[in-house]
Amino acid sequence: MQSKSLFLITLLCLLTASCLFADALTDARFRLSEGDPSSSIALFEKHLQVSPPSAMVYFELGEAQLKNGAPAGAALSFRRALILDPQFVPARNALAATNKELGIPKLTSTWTEWIVDKIPMDLLLLSGMAIFWLGAFLALFLPKHKTIIVAPLLAVGAASVALTALCDPRIAHQDELFLSSKSSAPIFQAPVESSEKLTTLPTGSTVRLLSERGRWLFVQLPGGARGWILHEGLTSVIPPSA
C-alpha cells in the first residue's frame, strides 16, 4: 500500500511539472504572437532550462530575439535548432538571413553538411549498428565458406557508425564557440593584448576551440586561420543537455 501511494505521488508530481512546463511554453508562444517578444524570450529560456532541448523551441526563441532587436542571440538560437535538427529548413533560412544582417560571410558547404542534409543522423547510426550486429551474429553461426556475407555487413555497419561520428552536428560542433558579445572581437597572434592583431571577428561569428591558456583561447577561424582570443563573449554552440 505504501509503495502504491508513493508511485501515485510521484506520478502526480511528474504530471504537475509537465503541465507547468507546457504552460510556460504556451505562454511564451502567446506573448510572442501578441507582440511581446521580451517576455516571450524569458519564458522560452525558462522552458529550455527545465525541458529537453527542442529544435522548434530554439527556432521560436530565435524569432523572438530577432523581434526584440537581438540578431546575435537569434543567430545562436537558429544554430542550436539546426544542431538538433539539421534538416529544419526554416531555421536554416532564418540563420542565413540573420548572418547576412550581422555581416557574417557565407561559407562553402562541406561534404559532411551535404550528408547531414540528406540523411537523418539517428537513422544512420541505428542502421549502422543494426547492420554491424547482424554481421557479428551471422559470423557466429554461418559456416566458414559463407563468411563472405559477413565481411560486407561488418564493413558497412562500421562505416555507417564512423560516418555518423564525423557528420553528426552534435559531435562535429562540440568544440565550436559563438561570439555573442555586442561588439566585434580581435584575434591576436599571441596570448597578450600587445601582440599583433590578425583580424577582427564580427558579432555572430563562430570559432573552433583548440586549446586554452587562462583567459585566452587558441581558436581556428572559419577560413582555417588560427589565433588567440579572449574568452569573454564566447559561448558554446552546442545547446545545454544536447
Task: Spell out the domain ranges in the chain.
Answer: 2-102, 112-172, 176-236
- 2-102: which CATH architecture? Alpha Horseshoe (1.25)
Alpha-carbon gap, residue 202 to 186, rounded angstroms: 9
Residue 136 binned pLDDT confidence (cut-offs 50, 70, 90): confident
pTM, entire model = 0.83
Name the average pLDDT for the chain: 87
Residue-wise pLDDT tens digits, 172-211:
899 999 999 888 899 999 999 999 999 999 999 999 999 9
Residue 182: predicted pLDDT: 82
Q: Is the pLDDT of residue 10 over 60?
A: no
Total number of residues shown for the chain:
242
Q: Is the pLDDT of residue 35 over 50?
A: yes
**Beta-strand (E) ranges in 139-215?**
176-179, 185-188, 197-201, 206-213
Residue 140: predicted pLDDT: 81
Residue-wise pLDDT tens digits, 69-97:
999 999 999 999 999 999 999 999 999 99
Helix (H) or strand (E) run with residue 216 in it: strand 216-220
**Torsion, Cα of 175, 127, 129, 88 (10° steps):** 20
Residue 12: predicted pLDDT: 46
**Torsion, Cα of 58, 59, 63, 65 (10° steps):** 20
Domain 176-236 sits in CATH at 2.30.30.40
- Which position has the higher pLDDT, 238 or 11? 238
Residue 146: predicted pLDDT: 62
**Of all residues in the chain, what percent carry a pLDDT higher than 90?**
65
Residue 223: predicted pLDDT: 83
